[in-house]
C-alpha cells in the first residue's frame, strides 16, 4: 500500500499543448508529461482512479525523450475485500518531439514507440506495443486545439489480440480553453473508434477542468490544482476491460 501512496504523491499535470511550453527546460530536468490526477466516483462501480506521468530529455541538443505514465484503479470502497488495487496500466515511451516556431498552427509533434501492459499473468494479462505519431494543432487563437494520435501496433499479446477492434488505430482530442479568464476553465473531448467501417464501438471521454487560482488570485499551499470532472463512456478505460463497454463518472483534482 505504501508504494502506491508514494506513487500518488508524484502527481502533476500536462498535456501535449501544455508541454510545448517546456522547450527551454534543461535537458536533465524531469517534467510532467500527460495529465496527472486523482479522481473518484460515488459508488463501487466508479471507484478511485489516478494517473501520474513524467518525462525526461536525454540530451539538450536533441529533442529525444523518455516518458513514463501509470494509470491505476483502486477499489477503495471494497472494505470487505481490504480495498485492493484492481489494476494498473504501465506505459513507458521513447519519442522525438518537434516544436515549430511560435505562432504556427502546428504547435508540437511527436513520433515514437511505446509499450502498454498491466503486469498480470495468464488470462488477465494485457500487453501491446505501438509506433505512434501525435500532434497539436491550434485552431482559434490558442483557445481551440485539435490533438490527433495515430497508432501502428506490433507485438500484441495473444490475450488481447483483438484490441484494435475495440480501441482502434488512434484517437482525437478537442480542447477548448475559456477566453473570459485565461486558463481558468478548459473542456477536453476525446474520441476513438474501434477498427472497422460500422458505426459500433465508439468511445469518448469528456474532461472539464476548473482552475480556482485564476479566480481567487493565490495558490493554496503553493499549489495550483484544478477541479477535475471526467465522464468516460466506451471501451478501453483500463486494459483489463478493453473489450467491455463501460460508463464511468468521477470527480477529483488535476494538478
CATH classification of the domain holding 94: 2.40.230.10
Domain around 33: 2-254
Question: Under a CB-based contact definition with an 8 Å cutoff, are residues 207 and 187 in contact?
Answer: yes
Q: Domain total for the chain?
A: 1
> What global pTM score does this model have?
0.85
Give 152-191 pLDDT, tens digit per residue: 999 999 999 999 999 999 999 999 998 776 667 899 999 9
Question: Under a CB-based contact definition with an 8 Å cutoff, are residues 16 and 134 in contact?
Answer: yes
Give 189-230 pLDDT, tens digit per residue: 999 999 987 778 999 999 999 877 655 555 555 566 889 999
Kind and range of the H or E element at 2? helix 2-8
Amino acid at each position: 500500500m505504501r508504494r502506491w501512496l508514494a506513487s500518488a504523491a508524484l502527481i502533476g499535470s500536462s498535456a501535449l499543448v501544455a508541454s510545448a511550453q517546456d522547450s527551454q527546460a534543461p535537458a536533465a530536468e524531469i517534467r510532467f508529461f500527460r495529465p496527472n490526477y486523482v479522481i473518484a466516483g460515488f459508488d463501487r462501480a466508479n471507484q478511485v482512479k489516478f494517473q501520474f506521468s513524467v518525462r525526461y530529455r536525454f540530451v539538450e541538443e536533441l529533442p529525444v525523450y523518455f516518458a513514463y505514465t501509470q494509470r491505476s484503479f483502486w477499489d477503495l470502497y471494497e472494505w470487505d475485500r481490504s480495498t485492493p488495487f484492481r489494476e494498473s496500466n504501465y506505459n513507458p515511451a521513447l519519442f522525438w518531439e518537434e516544436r515549430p516556431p511560435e505562432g504556427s498552427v502546428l504547435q508540437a509533434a511527436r513520433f515514437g514507440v511505446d509499450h502498454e501492459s498491466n503486469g498480470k499473468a495468464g488470462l488477465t494479462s494485457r500487453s501491446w506495443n505501438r509506433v505512434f505519431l501525435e500532434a497539436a494543432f491550434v485552431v482559434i487563437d490558442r483557445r481551440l486545439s485539435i490533438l490527433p494520435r495515430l497508432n501502428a501496433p506490433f507485438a500484441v499479446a495473444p490475450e488481447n489480440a483483438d484490441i484494435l477492434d475495440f480501441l482502434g488505430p488512434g484517437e482525437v482530442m478537442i480542447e477548448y480553453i475559456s477566453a473570459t479568464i485565461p486558463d481558468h476553465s478548459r473542456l477536453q473531448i476525446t474520441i476513438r473508434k474501434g477498427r472497422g467501417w460500422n458505426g459500433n464501438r465508439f468511445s469518448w471521454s469528456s474532461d472539464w477542468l476548473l482552475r480556482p487560482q485564476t479566480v481567487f488570485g493565490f495558490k493554496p499551499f503553493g499549489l495550483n490544482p484544478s477541479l477535475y470532472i471526467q465522464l468516460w463512456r466506451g471501451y478501453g478505460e483500463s486494459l483489463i476491460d478493453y473489450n467491455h463497454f463501460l460508463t464511468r463518472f468521477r470527480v477529483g483534482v488535476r494538478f
